[in-house]
Chains A and B, each alone.
Chain A
Amino acid sequence: MNPKNVGVIENPDGYGKVGNPICGDVMELFIRVKDDIIADIKFKTFGCGSAIATSSMITELAKGKTVDDALKITRKDVADELDGLPPQKMHCSNLAADALSEAIKDYKSKKKKK
């Protein structure tokens, strides 16, 4: 267990938070965007091994991609990249994909306002 991109970005260009502590999974995701490309990405996760692994993996997959390409990353991509997840843990990869799309949505809405 050696997750990548753990932490927060101060004043991020996009921020997403999904899950709730009762279910046992909360993920926060922060992105820094330059020319529509995800230049930096950090996360914080409360959850099981799979939740942490999928969080880490999605940050790796998204980094360097354009925001539109990053939006196309599916939960299946995350799971495949991890060489599969047990069936009862697939929702963890869902969480990671949701957090990323929330962060990108946040970025896009902020951009419109400018």
Chain B
Amino acid sequence: MTITGIAAIGAGLAAIGAGVGIGKIGGSAMEAMARQPEMHGKIQSSALILAAFVEAVALFGVVVAFLQG
């Protein structure tokens, strides 16, 4: 397997990790919003920020894969 193929697998693994993370954030945010609809705005903005943090790690993976590929 070439280094490009391994890099692609690495990017895929990073995407799986980020998917799990963002899924958990989204799920918990939905639950919280359903329980306390009046906090909708605050929960939404904190969920977006947290999703950005998780996503950044996946994007590091993508960038490394790009550099290798």
Q: Is A bound to B?
A: no
